[in-house]
Amino acid sequence: MNAQLTLTRLVTILRDPGAVRDLSLADWDLLVRLARVASLEGRLQAVIKAAGVLSEVPPAPRRHLDAACTLADRQHTMLRWEVARIHEALAGAGIPVLLLKGGAYVMAGLPCAPGRQFSDLDVMVPQPQLQTAEQHLFVHGWVCEGYDAYDQTYYRRWMHELPPLTHMRRKSVLDVHHTILPPTARLRPDPQKLWSAAVPLDGFPGLHVLAPTDMVLHSATHLFHDGELENGLRDLVDLDALLRHFAERDPGFWEQLTARAFEMDLARPLYYALRYGREFLATPVPDSVYVRLAPARPAAPLRAVMDALFRRGLRPHHWSCDGPLSGTARWWLYVRSHYLRMPLRLLLPHLVRKAIKERRAGKREQPEP
Amino acid sequence: MTAPEDLRAGLRGAGVALQVGPFVVRLRSRLDRVERALALFYDRQLLPPEQTAFADFHITLARASGLHWLWRPQARFFLDGRSPFRPLPLAHAYPLFEWGLNWCIAQHAHDFLMIHAAVLERDGQALVMPGEPGAGKSTLTAALTLSGWRLLSDEFALLALKSGKLVALPRPVSLKNAAIDLIRERYPQAVIGPASHDTSKGTVAHLRPTDTSIERMQAPARPAWLVFPRFTPGGRDQLQPLAPAEALQRLIGASFNYSVVGGAGFEAAADLIEQSACMQLEYADLDVTLGLLNGLREGGP
């Protein structure tokens, strides 16, 4: 089966949904599976639907796309409910909240929201109010469970977020951040600047989303400097949609974006986002932007290494996309994300402890169907 | 019809395609017991490979890797290259396929309200029997389908959200423990596969669906009776009317994906209740209960 072709098709349809007309049932057979593994099934349906060509999709694959969208719609409904509950818990206490990533896309009605699938909700509160926020959330049912003393200390001392909180009754998971990268990370964006530029969310006084430039920078940083790449392509698709949307609404956007990237110390992740966005999704990045980002560009040898890693790591983690070096690339990217997070003297003991603990716990799998 | 050697080659090669109700399953396996079970239960549902370009679920059953295959051989279930569950003993490879397929459907088929229930049909009218494990659902289902009812499903009712009809998902009926011999003795025509011992559900053996059930697989049925069975050994067999509100609540409680399909699921469940006579069944003696169920008339007991 031609795997590269299927990935190309997925990307092509996301950009130009009319291309669904050219697909055979056999093409759909692999495409649906690829989209599913990449968490892009719901997004694919939304894009095809918005273009008015859903009727061109044969019934058999369409059933799966529709089901993914049903699931995504459900997640969005639950997300709106969770956001309202968080507002209830924190607005009264005068604690401002920034919604991040998926939560922000949905609540701000951004074009990457329809059909987007996600699991957790990420928010940010100002660092000085972190403890008070946790107390108020606790009173409203969010508790930190399943983390031992070591995990607790690790998160609270070294990380940019609390250990994930779970709601007692609804079992929804909430990540509360106080900045966008761990304080020990090599890059040091100033969260105060994010707050100053944040955009209030209509209808929820005290709730905010990041300003357009910061939203792109955070998404890029999360993907290229922090996160695991399980949903790498999906995150790149988000970035692509955000960039197209903001650039279309504001002719000065690209200039503001590059200036802000240097101001926030996040020019390198932005460089990667634009480089691979253009490569995978043909994100329309003006050449002038690359010129301005030149100082943040890695030197040629490093660039070649990163290309080798990201070209593999950003592909969906599906057998059809895996080459002989995919596993190795993913492992190096995992090591890299940790290395960027904290200095080696902190990282090594942590990874050793983590490895021992995971070995003891055994593989996390569902016991039986 | 596929010759046995084709089945073997297919399973070991690109996979064989099976029509399982509204779904196409592409199955690959090198395990002999999976091949035997397929030949026994799914021979009528094999699709010509060249005409099956699209499959809903791509399943592989394989021997679990690792050294312990020497003393404890295990089978692993893969959906499209990913293994969502722990392996089971190799002897349970076929039940693992059935359970895994249930999981696949439950995860993806949100065009249906999926209910943990048996569905049988007579004269175009469907009897829906939700029930917890141990309620005697499978025994009743097997007995009914062997005495003339068409099997739509043993434990997985598909209520189409668009049409409000019950769509057939005829799979081998999973008989547990004492029910295996009971059915075998009462119905000599029953084709029952080899038993798997010591599964999480005890001893399990599967009953081959009747020919009618497979031939009419594509014909949906209109809900007519909603019966909640309860096995009460030593009790009295009786059908008692159940208030629609309570029936609705219990029906929703038995659904796998009610929380996903939301409002559409509520509408579909409420429509089913409106079209059905809702009853509670206490059942102790198979003959008496079969008499009660066979005596069901439209609109009531």
Tokens linked to A119: 């699991």
Query: Does residue A188 belong to the interface with chain B, where contact is any CB pair within 8 Å?
Result: no
Give the mutation candidate from A45, A63, A80 for the B interface (greatest B CB count, under 10 A): A63
Q: What are phi and psi of B241, to 5 degrees?
A: -65, 150
Q: Which residues of chain B have pLDDT under 70?
A: 1-3, 298-301
DSSP string, B156-211: -EEEETTT-PEEP----EEEETHHHHHHHHH-TT--B---EEEETTEEEEEEPPPH
Considering only CB atoms, which chain A residues are within 8 Å of B260? 70-71, 74
- Domains of chain A by residue range: 3-361
- The confidence score (pLDDT) of residue B58 equals 96
Determine the average pLDDT of the residues in A223-229. 79
* Chain-chain contact of B54 with A29 (C-beta, under 8 angstroms): yes
Considering only CB atoms, which chain B residues are within 8 Å of A67? 108-111
Query: Does residue A74 belong to the interface with chain B, where contact is any CB pair within 8 Å?
Result: yes
Separation in Å, CA of B109 to nearest CA in chain A: 6
Query: Does residue A65 belong to the interface with chain B, where contact is any CB pair within 8 Å?
Result: no
Condensed to tens digits (0 to 9), the pLDDT of residues A154-196 reads: 777 777 788 889 999 988 999 999 988 887 777 888 999 999 9
Residue A331: closest CA among A185, A182, A181, A229: A229
Cα three-residue angle A288-A293-A297, rounded to 5 degrees: 130
CB A219 within 8 A of CB A227: no
Q: Which of B54, B86, B259 sits opposite A367 (nearest CB)?
A: B86
Query: Domains, chain B, ranges and CATH?
Result: 4-108 (no CATH), 112-294 (3.40.50)
> Which of 8-47 (A) contact B at CB < 8 A?
24-26, 28-29, 33, 36-37
What percent of chain A has pLDDT above 90?
A: 62
- The confidence score (pLDDT) of residue B2 equals 60
- The confidence score (pLDDT) of residue A361 equals 67
Would the pLDDT of A363 be above 60? Answer: no
* Chain-chain contact of B100 with A369 (C-beta, under 8 angstroms): yes
Query: Does residue B99 belong to the interface with chain A, where contact is any CB pair within 8 Å?
Result: yes
DSSP string, A75-110: HHHHHHHHHHHHHHHHTTTT--EEEEHHHHHHHTT-
Query: Does residue B81 belong to the interface with chain A, where contact is any CB pair within 8 Å?
Result: yes
A301: Cβ–Cβ under 8 A, 6 or more apart, which residues?
none
User: CB pairs under 8 A, 24+ apart, for A271-277?
Assistant: A271/A296, A271/A297, A271/A298, A272/A220, A272/A223, A272/A224, A272/A306, A272/A310, A273/A216, A273/A219, A273/A220, A273/A223, A273/A224, A273/A236, A273/A239, A274/A243, A276/A236, A276/A310, A276/A311, A276/A314, A277/A236, A277/A239, A277/A240, A277/A243
- The confidence score (pLDDT) of residue A68 equals 96
A339: Cβ–Cβ under 8 A, 6 or more apart, which residues?
A347
Query: Does residue A362 belong to the interface with chain B, where contact is any CB pair within 8 Å?
Result: no
Condensed to tens digits (0 to 9), the pLDDT of residues A106-142 reads: 999 999 999 999 878 999 999 999 999 999 999 999 9
Query: Does residue B56 belong to the interface with chain A, where contact is any CB pair within 8 Å?
Result: yes
Tokens linked to A184: 């020990």
Would the pLDDT of A99 be above 70? Answer: yes
* Chain-chain contact of B86 with A61 (C-beta, under 8 angstroms): no
* Chain-chain contact of B259 with A367 (C-beta, under 8 angstroms): no
Considering only CB atoms, which chain B residues are within 8 Å of A60? 24, 54, 56
Condensed to tens digits (0 to 9), the pLDDT of residues A18-64 reads: 999 999 999 999 999 999 999 999 999 999 999 999 999 999 999 99
Tokens linked to B176: 């547990």
- The confidence score (pLDDT) of residue B299 equals 57
Condensed to tens digits (0 to 9), the pLDDT of residues A277-328 reads: 999 999 999 999 999 999 999 998 988 888 888 888 888 888 888 888 888 8
The CB-side HSE value for A33 (13 A sphere, CA atoms) comes to: 24
- The confidence score (pLDDT) of residue A368 equals 43
Q: Which of A26, A33, A369 sits opposite B80 (nearest CB)?
A: A33
What percent of chain A has pLDDT above 70?
A: 96
The answer to whether the predicted template modeling score (pTM) of the entire model surpasses 0.90 is no
Would the pLDDT of A366 be above 70? Answer: no
Would the pLDDT of A2 be above 70? Answer: no
**Could you tell me how many CB contacts below 8 A there are between chain A and chain B?**
67
